[in-house]
């Protein structure tokens, strides 16, 4: 599904977000990325969903070199990638139904897209998506009246309406109550299994990553420090990944890694 070869991303400030990264993710895989803040996870996801171009190196999606894509082919490739963002990226003043059906906008012409923001079409699809994320009764609520967990479910429903081949979830639980975090992670895993979709998620919560993902990749300073099956992630791997202060705050790392 995704293939990166020697991908580097440098910004105008001189900051190097990704540093010669090589990565392959197969179709249908479930992969968690972990690492400290500023490690490059969000930049990596923006390259994977074609909203950011590498400074150097090659990125392939579904066998196509993204740098060579233009026009309709590029738009179609972007439609294959659904992204769940840290802060939802929803329009609060709109009804939930409009935000959910925004997942279809990439398949509509300009006039149809504008019209759909006033008069929602394909309500059946929106109802089904809302039911799958567990809040069908909120379809006509104002989005800014929902809780953080409910808004994240709306964002997931929007991706379901898009029906992509792969779902990227960039810190999808950081803005929800900790008591809801595991439910959001398990919901995304269940939906990816049902739809046979690739799921790539970045998480600060190491415990959730090790408990729920077969493959765990540790990133620090724009480099991959380890790429392992979860049962092979060791306490030494985690010590290398996190600075001492963070390591002390996560006193259960060693026990998790050896379970």
pLDDT tens for each residue of the chain, 259 residues long: 999 999 999 998 889 999 999 999 999 999 999 999 899 999 999 999 999 999 999 999 999 999 898 888 888 898 999 999 887 788 888 899 999 988 877 665 555 555 666 666 778 889 999 999 999 999 999 999 999 889 999 999 999 999 999 999 999 988 778 878 899 999 999 999 999 999 999 999 999 999 999 999 999 999 999 999 999 999 999 999 997 764 444 555 555 555 5
The answer to whether 65 touches 80, Cβ cutoff 8 Å, is: no
Residue 197 neighbours by CB under 8 Å, 6+ apart: 28, 164, 165, 166, 167, 191
Distance between CA atoms of residues 216 and 252, nearest Å? 17
Distance between CA atoms of residues 40 and 222, nearest Å? 5
Distance between CA atoms of residues 183 and 194, nearest Å? 16
Give the Cα-Cα-Cα angle 50, 106, 7 (nearest 5 degrees): 5
User: Nearest CA to 101 among 112, 80, 116, 89?
Assistant: 116
Class (C level, CATH) for 1-80+164-230: alpha beta
Sheet strands side by side (includes 215-220):
81-84, 166-170, 198-203, 30-34, 215-220, 223-229
User: Nearest CA to 4 among 38, 53, 39, 37?
Assistant: 53
pTM: 0.86
Domain ranges of the chain: 1-80+164-230, 85-163
The answer to whether 247 touches 239, Cβ cutoff 8 Å, is: yes
- Phi-psi group of 187: left, alpha or beta (phi > 0 → left; psi -120 to 50 → alpha; rest → beta): alpha
End-to-end CA distance of the chain: 30
């Amino acid at each position: 599904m995704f293939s990166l070869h020697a991908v580097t991303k440098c910004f105008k400030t001189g900051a190097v977000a990704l540093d010669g990264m090589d990565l392959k993710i197969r179709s249908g895989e479930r992969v968690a990325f972990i690492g400290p803040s500023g490690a490059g996870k969000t930049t990596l996801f923006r390259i994977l969903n074609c909203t950011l171009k590498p400074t150097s190196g090659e990125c392939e999606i579904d066998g196509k070199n993204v740098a060579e894509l233009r026009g309709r082919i590029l738009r179609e490739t972007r439609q294959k990638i659904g992204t769940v963002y840290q802060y939802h990226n929803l329009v609060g003043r709109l009804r939930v139904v409009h935000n959910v059906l925004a997942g279809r906008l990439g398949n509509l012409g300009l006039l149809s897209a504008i019209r759909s923001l006033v008069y929602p079409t394909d309500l059946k699809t929106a109802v089904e998506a809302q039911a799958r994320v567990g809040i069908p009764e909120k379809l006509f609520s104002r989005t800014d009246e929902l809780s953080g967990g409910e808004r994240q479910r709306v964002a997931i429903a929007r991706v379901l309406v898009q029906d992509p081949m792969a779902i990227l979830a960039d810190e999808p639980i950081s803005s929800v109550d900790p008591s809801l975090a595991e439910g959001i992670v398990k919901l995304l895993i269940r939906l990816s299994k049902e739809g046979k979709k690739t799921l790539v998620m970045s998480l600060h919560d190491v415990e959730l990553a090790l408990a729920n993902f077969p493959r765990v990749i540790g990133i620090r300073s724009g480099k991959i420090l380890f790429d392992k099956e979860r049962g092979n992630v060791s306490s030494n791997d985690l010590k290398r990944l996190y600075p001492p202060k963070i390591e002390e705050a996560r006193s259960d790392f060693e026990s998790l890694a050896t379970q």
